[in-house]
Amino acid sequence: MPITSSLVTSPPQLRIQTRHLSPGTVLITVAGELDLATTGELQDGLLHALVTRLPHHLEVDLAGVTFMDCGGLTVLVVASQVAARTGCRLQITNPSPVLRRMLETTGLSSILIPNPTSPLLCRPRPAARI
């Protein structure tokens, strides 16, 4: 009796979409599970956007994130630090109530979720002098 095998593919656990909203502003939309298996993908996406698009403001929309562990938090904190070193402000938007509570409990909400009444989150870089 012949043995047959079939390739079974699982649905992607994480989807990341990057859009350039306006000069200096990049939106990264994240959907799915953000855990040990997918944090590298998010880290790559965030760092790629910072290096190739050189934004002043990097918005990370977590509305579609259904799960996030401490690895996901670490990626967001490291990306925020890298962004700050390049003159960019990384901010988290639309976290679910569970994710918001996680950010508040860890003390990261004040760093990663801006106050909606705050003025300009990221100042434009000065123009190069010729």
Residue 109: CA count within 13 A, CB half-sphere: 15
Q: What is the pLDDT of residues 98-112, one digit of tens each?
A: 999 999 999 998 888
Q: What is the pLDDT of residues 58-92, one digit of tens each?
A: 999 999 999 999 999 999 999 999 999 999 999 99
Question: Thinking of the domain 14-112, which architecture would CATH place it in?
Answer: 2-Layer Sandwich (3.30)
- How many other C-beta atoms are found inside a 10 Å radius of the C-beta of residue 69? 14
In this predicted structure, the answer to whether residue 31 has a pLDDT above a threshold of 50 is yes
- How many other C-beta atoms are found inside a 10 Å radius of the C-beta of residue 6? 4
Domain ranges of the chain: 14-112
Given a contact cutoff of 8 angstroms between Cβ atoms, the answer to whether 59 and 47 are in contact is no
Q: What is the pLDDT of residues 107-130, one digit of tens each?
A: 998 888 876 544 333 434 444 344
- Whole-number pLDDT of residue 124: 40
